[in-house]
Amino acid sequence: MTIDPKQLRYASTHEWVSLDSSGIATIGISAFAVEELTDLVFMALPKLGQKLVAQQEFGEVESVKAVSPLYSPVSGEVVEIHSELVSELEILGEDPYEKGWLMKVKLSDPSELDKLMDYSAYQKQCGEAA
């Protein structure tokens, strides 16, 4: 799977979404978020089968600087977890898009993707935050 950050949808809380043709969304956190967090030490992800609601917390990522909640950009059921990531957090710093995805979710409401930002709007938000 090749993921182009310019083709993703983004939440204002720095999570990204890539949708495949079967309606499964791959979700991760952006390179900007990983850089802001710096040295990652812990991550908690949802359980397989867990139901997520858009804009609600599903886990957290902890760095030496802070603990940051992770928010689901979409609603649906968790169908896959990137479990190796929890013990190999350096993957996020190396490749937050291809290898550093967090989970896969079967969408319950695909129209929620329309509420997320495209790449240029997200870049603008990140520029304003810097």
Q: What is the CATH number of the domain that holds 61?
A: 2.40.50.100
Q: Tell me the torsion sign for CA atoms 39, 102, 97, 77.
A: negative
Residue 87: which domain range?
5-106
Asked, for residue 112, whether it belongs to a domain, the answer is: no
CB atoms within 10 A of CB 16: 29
Asked, for residue 45, whether it belongs to a domain, the answer is: yes
Segment 11-43, tens digit of pLDDT: 999 999 999 989 899 999 999 999 998 889 999
Segment 81-113, tens digit of pLDDT: 999 999 999 999 899 999 999 999 999 999 999
Asked, for residue 65, whether it belongs to a domain, the answer is: yes
State residue 103's pLDDT score.
97
Asked, for residue 86, whether it belongs to a domain, the answer is: yes
Type of residue at 47: K
Segment 42-81, tens digit of pLDDT: 999 999 999 999 999 999 999 998 899 999 999 999 999 9
State residue 129's pLDDT score.
64
Asked, for residue 115, whether it belongs to a domain, the answer is: no
Split into its structural domains, the chain has a count of: 1
Structural contact between residues 42 and 62, judged by C-beta atoms closer than 8 angstroms: yes
Asked, for residue 117, whether it belongs to a domain, the answer is: no
Residues near 121 by Cβ (< 8 Å), separated by ≥ 6? 10
| pLDDT at residue 130 greater than cutoff 60 | no
Q: Give the tokens for residue 50.
A: 């867990």
Asked, for residue 60, whether it belongs to a domain, the answer is: yes
CB atoms within 10 A of CB 103: 24
Asked, for residue 74, whether it belongs to a domain, the answer is: yes
